[in-house]
């Protein structure tokens, strides 16, 4: 039985993999194929050693072009022309495939659903886990709305190496006013952090603002940004509940077979550091 005093570790997988791949590329010109996974695993082990979780949960994004939010905003996360995306697409796809194979036999749970972003599944999983403690690993600013809603959750920023402070105002409502350039979501003209904070402080001022400037942008942006109003929340909750109830598998023989099959150089030499932390997860 899981120790309820220990947190569950929730990892925004694609977010973490982007950072790992770019970090490795900066350090090494001629990277060995699939070595990115070893670097990814080292990163996860560092979080396991830091937070001593009872369980580890990995959340994957559906392909960007398929996510349900694009039904409402065609340009949502429309960054296909970005060099940032194209530069690592092949490495990201290969490392993701390897990671999914390994995690299936390393005592962790993985979550992915058609048309769902990791954010959607992370929110649903937090709802299901509450009031048990959860540590979410991500640099995505959207994640902070989860601890805003649930005191049992915290977001750890692996870049800043700190727990993200919980904001004074609902972060989704503030972004609905300001917009989110990262996701190609437009807000109201000339509304930034200061003005949006003033509006959220005063319900009368907020109502007058929406009457004058129109509600459509605000309501559309809430749908896109606020994880609590995801139309698929109930479906996602049922999905993660089932996954959480499924016993995890740790299979040493299978891990060794995958090391050979995928030619993951560097794994065997670091076995003593990379594998034991996963043996006692529930």
What are 127-146's pLDDT values in tens digits?
999 999 999 999 999 999 99
d(CA 232, CA 97): 26
Is residue 279 within 8 Å of residue 107, measured between CB atoms?
yes
Pairing outcome for strands 153-157 and 55-59? unpaired
pTM given for the model: 0.94
95 near 40, Cβ under 8 Å?
yes
Contact 185, 76 (CB under 8 A): yes
Token pair of 54 as six digits: 């009872």
Low-confidence ranges of the chain (pLDDT < 70): 1-4, 28-34, 79-87
Let me know: does 16 contact 43? Beta carbons within 8 Å: yes
* 8-167+231-278: CATH topology: Rossmann fold (3.40.50)
DSSP string over 53-95 = -SEEEEE-PPPGGG-GGGGT-TTTT--TT-HHHHHHHHHHHHH
pLDDT of residue 2: 53
Crossing angle for the helix pair 35-51 and 13-27, to the nearest 10 degrees = 120
Per-residue pLDDT, 1: 47
Distance from C-alpha of 272 to C-alpha of 258, rounded to nearest angstrom: 17
**Sign of the alpha-carbon torsion through 100, 63, 112, 45:** positive
Q: Within the chain, which residue ranges are assigned CATH 3.40.50.1010?
A: 8-167+231-278
């Amino acid at each position: 039985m899981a120790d309820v005093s220990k947190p569950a570790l929730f990892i925004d997988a694609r977010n973490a993999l982007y950072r790992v791949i770019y970090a490795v590329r900066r350090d090494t010109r001629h990277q060995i194929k699939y070595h990115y996974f070893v670097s990814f695993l080292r990163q996860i082990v560092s979080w396991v050693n830091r937070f001593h979780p009872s369980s580890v949960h990995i959340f994957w994004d559906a392909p960007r072009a398929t996510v349900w939010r694009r039904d409402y905003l065609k340009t949502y996360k429309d960054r296909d022309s970005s060099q940032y995306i194209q530069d690592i697409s092949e490495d990201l796809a290969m490392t993701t495939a390897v990671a999914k194979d390994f995690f299936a036999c390393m005592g962790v749970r993985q979550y992915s659903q058609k048309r769902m972003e990791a954010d959607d599944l992370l929110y649903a999983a937090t709802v299901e886990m509450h009031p048990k403690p959860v540590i979410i690993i991500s640099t995505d600013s959207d994640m902070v709305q989860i601890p805003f809603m649930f005191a049992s959750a915290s977001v750890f920023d692996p870049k800043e190496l700190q727990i993200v402070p919980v904001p004074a105002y609902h972060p989704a409502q503030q972004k609905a006013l300001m917009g989110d350039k990262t996701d190609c979501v437009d807000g109201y003209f000339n509304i930034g952090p200061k003005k949006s904070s003033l509006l959220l402080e005063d319900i009368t001022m907020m109502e007058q603002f929406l009457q004058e400037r129109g509600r459509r942008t605000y309501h559309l942006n809430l749908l896109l940004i606020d994880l609590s109003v995801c139309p698929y929340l109930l479906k996602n909750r049922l999905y993660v509940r089932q996954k959480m109830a499924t016993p995890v598998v740790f299979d040493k023989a299978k891990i060794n077979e995958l090391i050979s099959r995928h030619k993951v150089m560097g794994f065997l030499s670091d076995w003593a550091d990379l594998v034991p932390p996963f043996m006692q997860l529930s």
